[in-house]
Structures are given as C-alpha cells and as structure tokens.
Amino acid sequence: MAPAQPEALLVVVLGPTASGKTALSLALAERFHGEIVSCDSVAMYREFDIGTAKPTSSERGRAPHHLFDCVAPTSHITAGEYARQARQVLEEIKGRGHLPILVGGTGLYLRALLEGLFPGPQRSEELRERLREQAASRGGEYLHRVLRHLDRAAAEKIHANDTPKLIRAIEVCLASRQKMTELWQRGRDPLRGFRILRLGLDPDRQALYDRINRRAQQMFEAGLVEETRRLLEEYGVAAGPLSSLGYKQAVQLIRGELTREQALQAAQQAHRNYAKRQMTWFRRESEVHWLRGFGDDAQVQDQAAVKIETLLATDFRGSTRINHKNV
C-alpha cells in the first residue's frame, strides 16, 4: 500500500501591528516560492490604502498577494465570509505547489479560517438596520440590555460599546431562536488538508510602541487626512472602515472635533492599545513559535526560515516538494 500523502504546509505569520509581518512574509515568500494571503479585516477594502499599511506595489511585485483590495468601500465582510474565501485561495495555492503564507493581525478572522465558526444564521440587513437605529437613538447600553435578556452569558463577554458584536449576537439569537453561547458549543468546521506552522512576532514592547508612533505620524504626513476626506465625501458613513484606527481620528479632525496634533496623538494611542489587545488574543493561540524581534530583522527571518525548512524536509519527503532557495 502506498504511503499516505503528507498534508501541505501552511505558514501563519501573526503578531501585533507594526511588528514587521509584511517584511517577514515577503522574505519567506521569496525563499520558499510562497504566496501571501491577507488576514487583515481592513486591508481587504479597496481605496483604503494609507491607513491600512498595505504592501506597496513594489512589495506586491515580489510575491503573489491575495485578498487585498477585494471588497468595495461600502460593502461588509464577516469573519465567516472571509474564511470561505481564504480557504478557497489556500486550496488554489496548494494546487500550484506553492507555499501559502497567511499574514495579518485580525485574530477573529484567523480563528474563523483555522478553527471554523459556529453554524450561525445568515445576516439580515433589515434586522441589522433596525438595531443600528435603536443603538443610535437609545445608545449601546440598550442593545446590551436586549442581549442580556436573550443570552446573559454572551452579554457578559461583549462590551456595551461594541455595537457591531452586539448586533450580530442579537441577530443570531433572534434568527436561530437559540442562545448564541449554545451554538458556540456545537461542532465547528476546522481547516483540513494543511499542516499549520504559526510564527509569532514578539518585539520589545517599547520598541514596538516607538514604531507605532512613527508609523502613525508617517501616515498623517503621507496624506491620511486627504484620503479620508475623499472617502468621506464619496461614500459618507456607509464606508465602514472609516471607523477603523487612523481613519476614525482623521474623520474627527475633518469634522473639527480634534486638532491635527490631537488627532495624531489619538491615533498613536489607539494603535498602541490595539497592539496590546492583539498580543492578548494571540497569546491564547495554540502552538505558536514566538520569534523575539521584528519581522524585518535578518536574524528573525533566518530563524523562521529554519523552522520552515525543517518541516518541509520532513513533511514533503517522498512527495511533491515545494521548490525553495537555500536558507
């Protein structure tokens, strides 16, 4: 009997914002003929460029990139929808005999892709719009009370100010006629057909914050406010990513709610807070190989490459191997 074919390798590069995930993914893609798949909920949107720190055109020329600039500014994509698209892309990359490299900092999207989500009902835009109107007129606390009545355990896990999650939780409870926490306990659909190597970037905290501050300042200098003004004029509040980090502060500047200096400082603080939340989330991920340093550090890149080389030598022995350069 012929030996079973080994599962293909999937490399996941995770870490906080500004930790150098793009640099590491590009270095690995060039060494191992990889293709990069975005796991960033905002980078998927077209026309949102400066504030998302997407790979530049020259960087995208170094390796194939997927799931960037694939969602219209006024559209919405859920974690489940992202997972379905990403899984299809991963299968296509595997079919080409290339190494898929998943890169990004959106923890929920990563979990949806790798572990699957609970079998919740489809979105109802009509219900969502009613809930948004209620949130606008009565405040987030009202939605939180509604959810507490429907599913107390779910309400305890969602902040009263997190309107999108409150709306989804209420939607799930009403549409399924079940508590969302009960649905969570049912079986999920994890990713199959891949052996997963999780590489986590763990730079020095103060050095990371310094980079975050510099990058936010560079975004403002590169025209973040002008980009935001154009998007606001063309799409208005219908463009959901305008509430994301950087863009939110730019909108406040445009509306006269903040000075330019205040907007910059608020953006820097928001990004630092986000980095803290990301690390808290990723620390809960299983089997992460943590790399001390930034992704653009040659030593970190070499350490990551050695881990991949070792797995490729083991997993693909006797099967179709991914071509790669010598490390």
Tens-digit pLDDT profile for residues 171-198:
988 988 888 877 766 657 889 999 999 9
Distance, CA of 177 to chain centre: 30
Q: In the chain, which stretches have pLDDT less than 50?
A: 1-2, 316-327
- CATH 3.40.50.300, domain 8-117+188-315, yes or no: yes
Distances (CA, A) of 157 to 126, 151, 161, 181, 207: 25, 10, 12, 10, 32
**Tokens describing residue 53:** 């720190």
Q: Which CATH architecture describes the domain 125-184?
A: Orthogonal Bundle (1.10)
Range(s) of the chain covered by CATH 3.40.50.300: 8-117+188-315
Residue 119 confidence (pLDDT) = 65
> What does the chain come to in residues?
327
Residues 6+ apart with CB under 8 A from 28: 11, 13, 34, 99, 101, 301, 304, 305, 308
Residue 323 confidence (pLDDT) = 47
Range(s) of the chain covered by CATH 1.10.20.140: 125-184
Residue 3 confidence (pLDDT) = 52
**Tokens describing residue 73:** 């500014």
Tens-digit pLDDT profile for residues 224-269:
999 999 999 999 988 999 999 999 999 999 999 999 999 999 999 9
Residue 156 confidence (pLDDT) = 86
CB atoms within 10 A of CB 61: 10
Residue 37 has what DSSP assignment?
E
Residue 114 confidence (pLDDT) = 94
Residue 186 confidence (pLDDT) = 66
- List b or e across 83-108, with b for residues whose CB sees 16 or more CB atoms inside 10 angstroms: bebbbebbeebbeeebbbbbbbbbbb
